[in-house]
């Protein structure tokens, strides 16, 4: 049992990382499915370290998403680094270094290799192999099997494999990537993430000379600058999970095959993910008609989250809408129901948890990319889809919407509508008709039907929504006459109050 724990959770390699950097307070972050091994892993790691004054803390029930490094929880114990176990989105950290242990899920390399060979026979495209990070340990064996199969069948179709981006992530002011291999594995030994905003612009694809370097979901690969991703057949090894959805939606124009590691057979059915794209387009159109927008903070550790929140605020303000920032941990329908005035929510989180299923929610939840589509006037959806908000960060502020713009056609309301402008927050011009215009506007707002404000999106802010409600909470302020003096109520049981019994006896 001890040897199995050491191998599956890479205990010797983790201990070497802690000793090399002289960490004394280390947080071990486990997802729910691995929590049963947490005590055994901590004990094995403590034995491997041999004491040395290193304190280990086990973290579970993360504040946000288990695939992200929980820097908030680690800061409560003053941890110097976080060892992250299990599936990871590989989002860059803000303050703490992180060491990733992906685990080692078994893979039938022979069956997978034969499946790759069949795909190459059916398609004349080059094959680009992606995989869940938990299968990275078997990549070298898979390469050897595929090379032998192609040689025996005289096949010459090119097969390219994505590499793991890194196993160590350290936030730093200087971006330095060390490509040395610590144990002969397929991933780089260290990666330092630069915290500057410019680092996050177009992070998915960077052009360097004659090659395009891609980075997505913890995987990295390179293509020629003359090639497009549509020229490749994408072959995914792993389950139909959020990491696979990130690949499919980002490269939704590519041919994609998923190898099911449980059934040991390939599948080309990604229709359910294409249905998600159609539904997301509906949510974008619905968000265009919203007046009050809630910004849901879904992470406090992914680098750049403060920049994208400020960018969303500027974008919403420029569109003439009101925004409120909400921090509530993992969102659910009960939490969001406390904010009925918000007609749409923008969820700022890592790429693999950005698609929040909001079917049971009172208001739709969209991603920052969908917010850019909805609140940028005149922008059309070309079919591209970005889940990583780092690809959206920019230093340019959006232009304020003009009151002279033409009406917009709403697919939800089925007619032309005029978007709100920011003239409410601007100073009124000093003209002879200024007082009359302000008075007319105030009267129109006061006479507005409460039902229209509450249910038809007439509220421009949370204050307008609250004023239209009949119940405003427990307050000491009452309109109208003062309440009557206190009266003595009935006494006894409902079957027969005391005064009723007296009446019967009489």
CATH code where residue 231 lies: 3.40.50.11850
Q: Which residue has the tokens 């000491």?
A: 476
What CATH number did the domain enclosing 296 receive? 3.40.50.11860
Q: Is residue 125 part of a domain?
A: yes
Q: Which residue has the tokens 């605020």?
A: 313
Residue 54: domain span: 5-101
Q: Is residue 80 part of a domain?
A: yes
Residue 224 has pLDDT above 70, yes or no: yes
Q: 476 or 240: whose pLDDT is higher? A: 240
What pLDDT is stored for residue 189 in this prediction?
47
Q: Is residue 198 part of a domain?
A: no
Q: What's the Rg (C-alpha) of the chain?
A: 29
Sign of CA dihedral 3, 9, 15, 16: positive
**430 CB-contact burial (10 Å; exposed 0-12 / middle 13-18 / buried 19+):** exposed
Residue 106 has pLDDT above 60, yes or no: yes
The answer to whether 403 and 421 have CB atoms below 8 angstroms apart is yes
**Do residues 93 and 122 share a domain?**
no
Q: 419 or 139: whose pLDDT is higher? A: 139
Residue 193 has pLDDT above 60, yes or no: no
What pLDDT is stored for residue 164 in this prediction?
92
pLDDT band at 134; cut points 50, 70, 90: very high
The answer to whether 120 and 151 have CB atoms below 8 angstroms apart is no
Please give the C-alpha separations between residue 216 and each of 166, 226, 285, 360, 429, in angstroms, as whole numbers. 12, 20, 27, 30, 51
**Do residues 246 and 285 share a domain?**
no
- The domain total for the chain is 3
Domain boundary among 219, 235, 268: 268
**Do residues 240 and 169 share a domain?**
yes
The answer to whether 303 and 91 have CB atoms below 8 angstroms apart is yes
What pLDDT is stored for residue 399 in this prediction?
65
What pLDDT is stored for residue 9 in this prediction?
92
Instruction: Average the pLDDT over each of 160-164, 252-256, 322-326, 416-420 and give the range with the smallest value.
Output: 416-420
Q: 2 or 41: whose pLDDT is higher? A: 41
* pTM to 2 decimal places: 0.78
Quote the crossing angle between the two packed helices 242-250 and 271-288, to the nearest 10°. 70
Q: 501 or 188: whose pLDDT is higher? A: 501
The answer to whether 366 and 287 have CB atoms below 8 angstroms apart is yes
First-to-last C-alpha distance (Å) of the chain: 86
Q: How far apart are CA 428 and CA 116, in angstroms?
A: 68
Q: How far apart are CA 385 and CA 393, in angstroms?
A: 15
Average pLDDT, the chain: 80
Chain-centre distance of CA 128, in angstroms? Answer: 25
What pLDDT is stored for residue 453 in this prediction?
58
Q: Find the farthest-apart pair of alpha carbons in the chain and give their distance in angstroms, rounded.
A: 111
What pLDDT is stored for residue 281 in this prediction?
87
Q: Is residue 448 part of a domain?
A: no
**Do residues 260 and 307 share a domain?**
no
Joined tokens for residue 332: 């659910």
**Do residues 241 and 138 share a domain?**
yes
Q: How far apart are CA 256 and CA 128, in angstroms?
A: 10
Q: How far apart are CA 94 and CA 134, in angstroms?
A: 24
Residue 183 has pLDDT above 60, yes or no: no
Domain boundary among 221, 244, 268: 268
Give the three-class secondary structure for 499.
helix
**Do residues 37 and 94 share a domain?**
yes
What residues contact 177, with CB distance under 8 A and at least 6 apart? 166, 188, 190, 191, 192
Q: Is residue 301 part of a domain?
A: yes
What pLDDT is stored for residue 122 in this prediction?
86
Residue 269 has pLDDT above 60, yes or no: yes
């Amino acid at each position: 049992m001890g040897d199995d724990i050491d191998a599956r959770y890479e205990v010797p390699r983790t201990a070497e990382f802690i000793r090399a950097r002289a960490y004394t307070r280390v947080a071990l972050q486990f997802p729910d499915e691995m929590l049963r091994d947490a005590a055994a892993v901590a004990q094995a790691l403590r034995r491997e370290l041999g004491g040395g004054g290193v304190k280990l803390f086990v973290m579970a029930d993360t504040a946000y998403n288990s695939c992200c490094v929980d820097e908030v929880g680690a800061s409560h114990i003053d941890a110097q680094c976080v060892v992250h176990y299990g599936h990871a989105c590989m989002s860059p950290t803000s303050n703490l270094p992180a060491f990733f242990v992906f685990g080692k899920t078994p893979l039938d390399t022979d069956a997978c290799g034969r499946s790759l060979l069949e795909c190459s026979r059916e398609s004349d495209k080059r094959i680009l192999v992606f995989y869940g990070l938990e299968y990275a340990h078997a990549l070298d064996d898979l390469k050897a099997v595929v090379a032998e199969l192609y040689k025996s069948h005289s096949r010459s179709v090119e097969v390219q494999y994505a590499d793991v981006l890194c196993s160590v992530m350290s936030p730093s002011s200087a971006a330095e990537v060390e490509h040395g291999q610590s144990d002969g594995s397929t991933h780089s030994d260290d990666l330092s993430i630069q915290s500057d905003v410019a680092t996050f612009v177009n992070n998915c694809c960077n052009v360097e000379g004659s090659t395009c370097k891609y980075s997505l979901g913890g995987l990295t690969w390179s293509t020629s600058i003359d090639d497009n991703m549509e020229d490749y057949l994408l072959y995914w090894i792993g389950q139909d999970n959020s990491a696979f959805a990130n690949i499919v939606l980002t490269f939704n124009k590519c041919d994609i095959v998923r190898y099911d590691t449980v059934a040991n057979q390939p599948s080309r059915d990604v229709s359910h993910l294409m249905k998600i794209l159609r539904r997301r387009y509906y949510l974008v159109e619905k968000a265009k008609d919203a007046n009050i927008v809630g910004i849901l903070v879904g992470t406090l550790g992914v680098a750049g989250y403060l920049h994208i929140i400020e960018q969303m605020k500027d974008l919403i303000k420029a569109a003439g809408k009101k925004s409120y920032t909400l921090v509530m941990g993992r969102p659910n329908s009960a939490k969001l129901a406390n904010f009925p005035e918000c007609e749409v929510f923008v969820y700022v989180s890592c790429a693999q948890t950005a698609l929040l299923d909001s079917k049971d929610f009172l208001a739709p939840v969209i991603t920052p990319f969908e917010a850019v589509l909805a609140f940028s006037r005149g922008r059309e959806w070309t079919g591209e889809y970005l889940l990583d908000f780092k690809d959206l960060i920019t230093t340019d502020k959006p232009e304020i919407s003009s009151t002279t713009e033409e009406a917009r056609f709403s697919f939800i309301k089925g007619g032309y509508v005029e978007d709100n402008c920011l003239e409410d927050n601007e100073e009124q011009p000093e003209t002879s008709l200024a007082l009359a215009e302000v008075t007319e506007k105030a009267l129109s707002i006061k006479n507005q039907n409460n039902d229209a404000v509450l249910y038809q999106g007439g509220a421009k802010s949370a204050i307008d929504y609250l004023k239209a409600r009949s119940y405003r909470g427990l307050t000491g302020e009452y309109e109208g006459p003062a309440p009557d003096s206190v009266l003595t109520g009935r006494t006894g049981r409902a079957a027969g109050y005391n005064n009723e019994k007296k009446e019967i006896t009489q």
